[in-house]
Amino acid sequence: MQHINSKLQEVETTIFTVMSNLAAKHNAINLSQGFPNFETDTGLIDLVTYAMKKGYNQYAPMPGLMALRAIIAENTNTLHASAYHPETEVTVTSGATQAIFTIISAFVHLDDEVIIFKPAYDCYEPSIQLFGGKVVPIQLSVPNFGVNWGEVASKITSKTRMIIINTPHNPSGSVLSKEDMLQLEKLLKDTNIILLSDEVYEHIIFDGQKHQSAAKFPGLAARAFITASFGKTFHTTGWKMGYCLAPKDLMAAFRKVHQFNVFCSNHPMQYALAEYLKNPDHYLSLPSFYQEKRDLFLSLIQGSRFTFTPASGTYFQLLNYATITDEGDVAFAKKLTREHKIASIPISVFNLNGQDDKVLRFCFAKTEDTLERAAEILCSI
Ligand code: PMP
Ligand code: GLN
């Protein structure tokens, strides 16, 4: 081929792959890509094995196994006083990434505008571009990453098709408050704008705060897709299992694409997850489980030259290194990996025009031993 006309000419390999590969090459502690380094509950693994032996090895129903959709709807409706119907308003997906891609592909037409907040998780923008949409970015500011809803209002035009929010927010660790959600609800009233609410860290929220799901706000729920990930919730990022919720009409449009995009997701895992979700303790215990890890990590690096605002949610902590060097964050993250054997994610890659605030993201979904070794290195820098 003389000329390959890629639809994503400018896009490079995702930073998660770049940093994880570099960590492996230099034998560094990998706090870059977000995944736990401890095992998932063997009870859940046993349920998958059981399902495979019982013969759940062929295609699942296209929207997902009914038992799984039913327990997802029941648990969601209990948590948020919502009314999702398992038959028509819940679809099981191959991770949240597939849900997000499918939602965007189903609704974003040529020249439609999609508002996103930067720093933004890296799969949103290329997906919008692939379908001819125009990304309308709004840059949030360190250290609190609060949203100025007046600014959001000023970006809404007759072409705005969708707005994407993410709470708890990757990479900043910030969360949207009830007041934020009410402001958004007011802003979208009387519009045809679809809300994509990426809530994959819904159960990882700290200091007694409550997750403000779009499902809790009728004016938002009526126009929202909510995406969720079992990878985050059950320490199984490699399983690539998730789901999305939306009102019936929106979900019908989603399934028109989903049936040709993946058709269905992994069948034995759906069986296992349906059983496992019968015990809500499995996810209700996550705030204290991860808050302990956040607090341990932060107490261990208290004496270092890095500065920080504790994460309100997610399993990521931002550390500011401005007192150490004025090097760019990508160069500094790579240097830390090569020379100090600790890998992180530079935040500028998620920012508007690569804005560099001298912050790195560290994943604390790790064993105590790993967090201790990581902190020791960070304190020596
Ligand atoms: N959204 C956000 C904000 C994420 O951090 C991730 C990463 N895991 C995803 C979506 C994708 O989730 P999944 O691994 O289930 O595809
Ligand atoms: N969500 C993970 C993170 O933010 C990465 C997922 C991926 O590697 N694409 O680190």
Inter-residue contact 308 to 298 (CB < 8 Å): yes
pLDDT, residue 138, reads 98
Report the pLDDT averaged over residues 88-114: 98
Q: Which ligand is nearest to the CA of 99?
A: 1
Ligand 2, atom 4: closest residue by C-alpha: 34
Exposure of 334 in the CB half-sphere (CA atoms within 13 A): 8
Q: Please give the distance, rounded to the nearest whole angstrom, from the Cα atom of residue 15 to the centre of ligand 2.
A: 9
Inter-residue contact 243 to 234 (CB < 8 Å): no
pLDDT, residue 2, reads 85
Mean pLDDT, the chain, whole residue set: 97
- Per-residue model confidence as pLDDT tens digits over 65-86: 999 999 999 999 999 999 999 9
Does ligand 2 have an atom closer than 6 angstroms to the CB of 312?
A: no
Q: Please give the distance, rounded to the nearest whole angstrom, from the Cα atom of residue 122 to the centre of ligand 1.
A: 9
Ligand 2, atom 1: closest residue by C-alpha: 34
Judged against a pLDDT cut of 90, whether residue 54 lies above it is answered with yes
Q: Which pLDDT band, with edges at 50, 70 and 90, does 367 fall under?
A: very high
Judged against a pLDDT cut of 90, whether residue 3 lies above it is answered with no
How far is residue 375's CA from residue 300's CA, in Å, rounded to a whole number?
A: 6
State which amino acid sits at residue 328.
Answer: G
pLDDT, residue 150, reads 98
Q: Which ligand is nearest to the CA of 97?
A: 1
- Per-residue model confidence as pLDDT tens digits over 288-316: 999 999 999 999 999 999 999 999 999 99
Q: Which atom of ligand 2 is nearest to the CA of 20?
A: 8
Residue 292, beta-bridge partner list: none
Q: Please give the distance, rounded to the nearest whole angstrom, from the Cα atom of residue 175 to the centre of ligand 2.
A: 18
User: pTM of the predicted model, to two decimals?
Assistant: 0.98
Lowest pLDDT segment from 6-10, 61-65, 83-87, 271-275: 6-10
Q: Which residue do the tokens 């890659």 mark?
A: 349
Inter-residue contact 30 to 343 (CB < 8 Å): yes
Q: Which ligand is nearest to the CA of 233?
A: 1
How far is residue 181's CA from residue 188's CA, in Å, rounded to a whole number?
A: 11
Q: Please give the distance, rounded to the nearest whole angstrom, from the Cα atom of residue 105 to the centre of ligand 2.
A: 21
Residues 6+ apart with CB under 8 A from 202: 168, 211, 213, 228, 233
Which residue among 101, 165, 170, 265 has the greatest number of ligand 1 atoms within 8 angstroms of its CB, and so is best to mutate?
A: 170
- Per-residue model confidence as pLDDT tens digits over 318-366: 999 999 999 999 999 999 999 999 999 999 999 999 999 999 999 999 9
pLDDT, residue 274, reads 98
- Per-residue model confidence as pLDDT tens digits over 208-224: 999 999 999 999 999 99
DSSP state for residue 121 in the 8-state scheme: -
Exposure string over 12-21, b if 16+ CB within 10 A, otherwise e: eeebeebbbb
How far is residue 151's CA from residue 144's CA, in Å, rounded to a whole number?
A: 16
Task: Quote the percentage of the chain above a pLDDT of 70.
Answer: 100
Q: Which atom of ligand 1 is nearest to the CA of 231?
A: 15
Q: Please give the distance, rounded to the nearest whole angstrom, from the Cα atom of residue 158 to the centre of ligand 2.
A: 33
Report the pLDDT averaged over residues 357-380: 98
Ligand 2, atom 9: closest residue by C-alpha: 16
Does ligand 2 have an atom closer than 6 angstroms to the CB of 170?
A: yes
Axis crossing angle, helix 329-340 with helix 15-25, rounded to the nearest 10: 20
Rg (alpha carbons) of the chain, rounded to whole number: 21
